[in-house]
């Protein structure tokens, strides 16, 4: 094992002040930074100006660099540099494929460390005034990916099992939002269940779009990615608390567009 080390770092939901102190220190001292599309510009502005940057961003409908190549890229840089940061939006282990990258690093005897990040699966709701749990309304929650089909086009989600889930948070679900809403209804969720889409969560231009499962399944609703898709009765608190968010002058946070 050489003296290099790869740090899998969670960049959080986007706002610079939600970056962990350890992540910030690593960005200031890294030799190489391999980063994703979801890492915000304000965080990228804080990195070591002498670091070598390599963009490996992916979009919902287009993976420009296959995951296997990213895995090999980390090994490649570990043989050339001492401190490599693999910078990911959110947390490395919340649909971030951090585990796959670690498997490759271990196979090549390369030291690594995981630095957790605040996941948008919870923080997006917080900044939108939507509690992920609330006594008497939701006593459990589920986080899932919006990539609901495998390569053969077969549906992999047991939708009927989700009807008892209090709050459902779907990451990367914008592209398949109508399909997901229809499947949730077919699985037993009431069609009037409140829904929210939180665009650019925690950032100065965050926007919240509210609707219902029925409307998402049957109407054309424009949502810009990246956005967190939330389903559940706790969405109602966004409207009840929105005035307070604005009164607290959170610079645009809490802006709501009702459908």
Higher pLDDT, 64 or 143: 143
User: What is the reported pLDDT for 133?
Assistant: 97
What are the sequence ranges of the domains in the chain?
5-118, 121-258
User: What is the reported pLDDT for 60?
Assistant: 56
**pLDDT, tens digit, for every residue of 33-72?**
999 999 999 999 999 999 999 999 876 555 578 999 999 9
User: 70 near 87, Cβ under 8 Å?
Assistant: no
**pLDDT, tens digit, for every residue of 184-216?**
999 999 999 999 999 999 998 899 999 999 999
Q: From CA 137, how far away is CA 131, in angstroms rounded? A: 10
Which of these CATH numbers, 3.40.1190.20, 3.40.1010.10, 3.10.20.30, 3.30.930.10, describes 5-118? 3.40.1010.10
Higher pLDDT, 241 or 9: 9
Q: How far is CA 134 from the centre of its chain?
A: 22
User: What is the reported pLDDT for 155?
Assistant: 75
User: 98 near 92, Cβ under 8 Å?
Assistant: yes
Closest CA to 171 of 230, 99, 98: 230
The first and second tokens of residue 39, run together, are: 């890492």
- The stretch 88-100 carries a mean pLDDT of 95
User: 166 near 125, Cβ under 8 Å?
Assistant: no
- Is the per-residue pLDDT at 100 higher than 90? yes
Higher pLDDT, 142 or 3: 142
User: What is the reported pLDDT for 187?
Assistant: 95
CATH C-level class of 121-258? alpha beta
User: Which residue numbers are catalytic?
Assistant: 36, 58, 172
Q: From CA 113, how far away is CA 129, in angstroms rounded? A: 33
């Amino acid at each position: 094992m050489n003296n290099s080390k790869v740090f899998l770092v969670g960049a959080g939901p986007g706002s610079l002040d939600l970056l962990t102190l350890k992540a910030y220190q690593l960005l200031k001292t890294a030799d190489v930074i391999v980063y994703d599309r979801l890492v915000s510009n304000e965080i990228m502005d804080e990195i070591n100006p002498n670091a070598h940057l390599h963009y490996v961003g992916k979009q919902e409908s287009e993976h420009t660099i296959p995951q296997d190549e990213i895995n090999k890229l980390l090994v490649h840089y570990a043989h050339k540099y001492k401190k490599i940061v693999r910078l990911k939006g959110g947390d490395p282990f919340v649909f971030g494929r951090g585990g796959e990258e670690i498997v490759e690093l271990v196979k090549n005897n390369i030291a690594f460390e995981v630095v957790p990040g605040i996941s948008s699966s919870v923080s997006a709701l917080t900044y939108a005034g939507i509690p992920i749990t609330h006594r008497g309304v939701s006593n459990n929650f589920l986080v899932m990916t919006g990539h609901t089909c495998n390569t053969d086009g077969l549906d992999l989600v047991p939708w009927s099992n989700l009807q008892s889930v209090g709050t459902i948070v779907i990451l990367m679900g914008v592209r398949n939002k109508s399909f997901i809403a229809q499947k949730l209804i077919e699985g037993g969720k009431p069609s009037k269940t409140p829904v929210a889409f939180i665009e650019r969560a925690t950032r100065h231009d965050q926007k919240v779009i509210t609707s219902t499962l029925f409307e998402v399944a049957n109407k054309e609703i424009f949502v810009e990615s990246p956005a967190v898709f939330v389903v559940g009765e706790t969405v109602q608190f966004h409207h009840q608390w929105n005035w307070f968010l604005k009164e607290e002058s959170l610079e645009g946070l809490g802006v709501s567009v009702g459908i």
